[in-house]
Amino acid sequence: MKKALLLALALATAGSASAAGKLEIFSWWSGDEGPALDALVKLYNQKYPGVKVDNATVSGGAGTNAKAVLKTRMLGGTPPDSFQVHAGQELIGTWVVANRMEDLSSLFKSEGWAKVVPADVIKLISSKGGIWSVPVDIHRSNVMWYNPATLKKYGVTAPKTWPEFLSTCTALKAKGMQAPLVVGESWTQQHLWENVMVGTLGAQGWENLWNGKLKFTDPRVVGAFTTFGKVMDCANKDASGLSWQQASDRITDGTSAFNVMGDWAAGYFTTTKKLAPGTGFGWTTAPGTSKVFVMLADSFGLPKGAKNRAETLNWLKVLGSKQGQDTFNPLKGSIAVRTDSDLSKYSVYSKSAATDWKHSKIVGSMYHGAVAPESFTSAFGALIDQFVASKDSKGATAAAQQLADKAGIGK
Ligand code: GAL
């Protein structure tokens, strides 16, 4: 009897979230992209065993489908309790300006996160005096993946600049490789585009595109578009039908030599395909970007009107904790946001990313929500699709500048 009473008391004082309840989290991490999130949910359930977690996912790389579903739910007044959103403009320019998120400043304070989350990352998730989400990872966009055996077979090395890439491409074609570069569906081409821009215009040039100091119509940008067009001439013709995972498969099976993709590809290679970094797959920085780290961060927030607020706050606590981050990131291919992360848990690839994160010039990804508002990014896709077909650099850059003006970039 006494025991039962004590148990009841313990449950009551532990708070409603740990006794029972529900939590719905929303993301695009399904299928091959699921294991890291699954591990995090498992950890949450170890801490809060009574909570039933509804792990809602809408598949589609980079959130192409999930973001549309999320919009419908947010505008329809049925937000998930917490959802995946990129740190930066995707969070601030979409959901914070629309006044849909709760300020998490007090959570950051009570959890002591200001001491372990780099100030620049906090800046990305802050505006109007509030902090609006909890970042769980740092991904790198500017990585070029290859298969060491393929490069050996063809007698080439990974090119260090985009002009060098083009000559390597010609050499590989001459040796019978049809598509030295593999790309996938539309968003992966925009991902490639940003890497050609950073590698051609430099980190400062890239930043200037987003602060308005460099116009898209500038001859340097027009030239960089032309380079992008030539790079696309090295790519497979069936791109639109390939997911990023299928594109990655063409590296491991030796069909193509190179793929420029974020380091979720490292998670796919190691966690899903069980390949060893360095032998099963190789990597280097995207051409021209060896001193740069193009970053993006996945984060989760607390939308206003979330049904299970207490459970969500606990979810966010797990997400921002050292244990949470060191459970999630080694499987995901990303590194922890926290500076006290235990690197012994990470792959050789991730260790190299962690070193570069400390020593490189950091810039934000456009496609993955860091530097440009959604209004620009979503319209830009059609522009790139058209450019890939027409290769009209002047026309594309003029249209891009119009989009930038409309989205208020540099204002
Ligand atoms: C990115 C996201 C990554 C990964 C990738 C591919 O936008 O930040 O975590 O999921 O898409 O889907």
Q: What's the confidence (pLDDT) of residue 19? A: 54
Distance 324 CA to ligand 1 centre (A): 18
Over range 91-118, report the average pLDDT.
98
Q: Which atom of ligand 1 is nearest to the CA of 60?
A: 12
Cα 176 to ligand 1 centre (Å): 33
pLDDT digits (tens, 9 = 90+) for 183-194: 999 999 999 999
Residue to substitute in 26, 32, 33 for testing ligand 1 pocket (most ligand atoms within 8 angstroms of CB): 33
> Residue 51 pLDDT more than 80?
yes
pLDDT(137) > 60 = yes
Asked if 134 and 144 sit in the same domain, the reply is no
Distance of CA 327 from the midpoint of ligand 1 (Å): 17
Q: Based on the structure, what is the number of domains in the chain?
A: 2
Q: How far is the CA of 36 from the centre of ligand 1 (A)?
A: 12
Residues 388 and 243 in one domain: yes
Instruction: Report CA(86)–ligand 1 centroid distance (Å).
Output: 9
CA of 72 to the centre of ligand 1 (A): 20
Ligand 1 nearest atom to the CA of residue 367, by list position? 7
* Same domain for 131 and 254: no
| pLDDT score for 20 | 78
Residues 354 and 370 in one domain: no
Q: Please choose from 264, 296, 366 the residue to mutate so as to test ligand 1's pocket, defined by most ligand atoms within 8 A of CB.
A: 264
My answer on whether 92 and 113 are in the same domain is yes
Q: Please report the pLDDT score of residue 15 as a whole number.
A: 43
How many A from CA of 261 to the centre of ligand 1? 10
The CATH number linked to 201 is 3.40.190.10
20 and 110 part of one domain: yes
Mean residue pLDDT across the chain? 95
Average pLDDT of span 292-301: 98
Q: Which is the closest atom of ligand 1 to the Cα of 61? A: 12
Q: Do 257 and 393 have their domain in common?
A: yes
Q: Do 34 and 132 lie in a common domain?
A: yes
Which pLDDT score, from 0 to 100, does residue 254 have? Answer: 98
**Whole domain around residue 74: which residue ranges?**
2-139+297-364
> Are 263 and 126 members of one domain?
no
pLDDT of 411 reads: 85
Residue 170's pLDDT is what? 98
Question: Does residue 275 sit in the same domain as residue 378?
Answer: yes
The pLDDT of residue 10 is 45
pLDDT value at 82 more than 70: yes
pLDDT at 91: 97
Q: What is the mean pLDDT of residues 46-68?
A: 97
| pLDDT attached to residue 400 | 98
* Ligand 1 centre distance from Cα of residue 364 (Å): 14
Nearest CA to ligand 1 atom 2: 62
pLDDT higher than 90, residue 47: yes
Pocket of ligand 1 (CB under 6 A): 28-29, 33, 61-63, 139, 244, 262, 264, 296, 298, 368
State the closest ligand 1 atom to the C-alpha of 264, by its place in the atom list counted from 1. 4
Q: Work out the number of other CB atoms within 10 angstroms of the CB of residue 390.
A: 11
Q: Which three-class secondary structure string do you get for the chain?
A: CHHHHHHHHHHHHCCHHHHCEEEEEEECCCHHHCHHHHHHHHHHHHHCCCEEEEEEECCCHHHCCHHHHHHHHHHCCCCCCEEEEECCHHHHHHHHCCCCECCCHHHHHHHCHHHCCCHHHHHHCEECCEECCEECCEEECCEEEECHHHHHHHCCCCCCCHHHHHHHHHHHHHCCCCCCECCCCHHHHHHHHHHHHHHHHHHHHHHHHHHCCCCCCCHHHHHHHHHHHHHHCCECCCHHHCCHHHHHHHHHCCCCCEEEECCHHHHHHHHHCCCCECCCEEEEECCCCCCEEEEECEEECCECCCCCHHHHHHHHHHHHCHHHHHHHHHHHCCECCCCCCCHHHCCHHHHHHHHHHHHCEEEECCCCCCCCCHHHHHHHHHHHHHHHHHCCHHHHHHHHHHHHHHCCCCC
Q: Provide the percentage of residues in the chain whose pLDDT is more than 70.
A: 95
**Percent of the chain topping pLDDT 90:** 95
The model's pTM: 0.95
CA 297 to ligand 1: nearest atom: 8
Predicted confidence (pLDDT) at residue 25 exceeds the cutoff of 70: yes
* pLDDT above 60: residue 239: yes
Average pLDDT, integer, range 33-61:
97
CA of 6 to the centre of ligand 1 (A): 46
pLDDT exceeds cutoff 70 at 300: yes
The reply to whether 110 and 232 lie within a common domain is no
Whether residue 200 is found in the same domain as residue 248 = yes
Give me the pLDDT at residue 8, please. 44
